[in-house]
Amino acid sequence: MNTSDYISGFLLGLSLIIAIGSQNAFVLKQGLKREHIFFVCLFCAVSDALLISAGVGGFGAVTARYPHVIDIAKIAGVLFLLGYGLQSLYASVRVSHALTVEGQVVSRLKKALLLCFGFTWLNPHVYLDTLVLVGMVSTGASSKLTFAIGAISASFFFFFALGYGARLLRPLFGKPKAWNILDALVGLLMLYLAWHLYQS
């Protein structure tokens, strides 16, 4: 295994997903609530792995030839972010949160994964980052496979660190008011991302 290719892929992958976005905010919230953390983190990481593999395998050339695929994802992403953002803002003023009792799960796994699907696959930036950018950068690696493994490793490391590391902030969210503030911040973030996506 070429160590430099692995490190290059890992650092590129990490730099692309470390910024606060809708997907990361959702993973953080699931981590705080301790709801389906493993499956949510696994879904995000595996989704990234599939997209990175496709990008390194040359799918970036396909999206460059058929840009309408990204346009469709853009429209769907804007609508999804708007809906979730408004829902979070509503929850910030109408819902009284409390942390779940240890071992008790409030939301269904199916709902969590459907939301995760929306944040991941309806985000056109994920296609630009993984299919196009990672795919293009990988062409300069001596081993595309090693580069891809590095980028995929970064996704697994980041999402599981974010999901399970969120418990360090758990004492802060012992009060319902803290959840209302988080909902408001998440809602505003989603609306901003929807506007930014619409403008891009």
Burial class (CB in 10 A: 0-12, 13-18, 19+), 39: middle
Distance CA 38, CA 192 (A): 28
pLDDT (mean) for 68-93: 83
Residues present in the chain in total: 200
61 confidence band (pLDDT: 50, 70, 90): low
pLDDT band of 40, cuts 50, 70, 90 = very high
Mean pLDDT throughout 120-147? Answer: 84
Q: What average pLDDT score do residues 162-180 get?
A: 84
Sign (positive or negative) of CA dihedral 4, 6, 157, 60: positive
Report H helices in the chain. Answer: 3-17, 22-33, 37-54, 60-65, 68-94, 109-121, 124-127, 135-138, 144-165, 176-199
pLDDT grade for 37, boundaries at 50, 70 and 90: very high
Tell me the average pLDDT across 148-172. Answer: 92
pLDDT exceeds cutoff 90 at 21: no
Domain of 170, in residue numbers = 3-199
Mean pLDDT estimate for the chain: 84
How many domains are there within the chain?
A: 1
Residues 112/36, Cβ–Cβ less than 8 Å: yes
pLDDT above 50 (res 100): no
Question: Looking at the predicted structure, is the pLDDT value of residue 193 above 90?
Answer: no
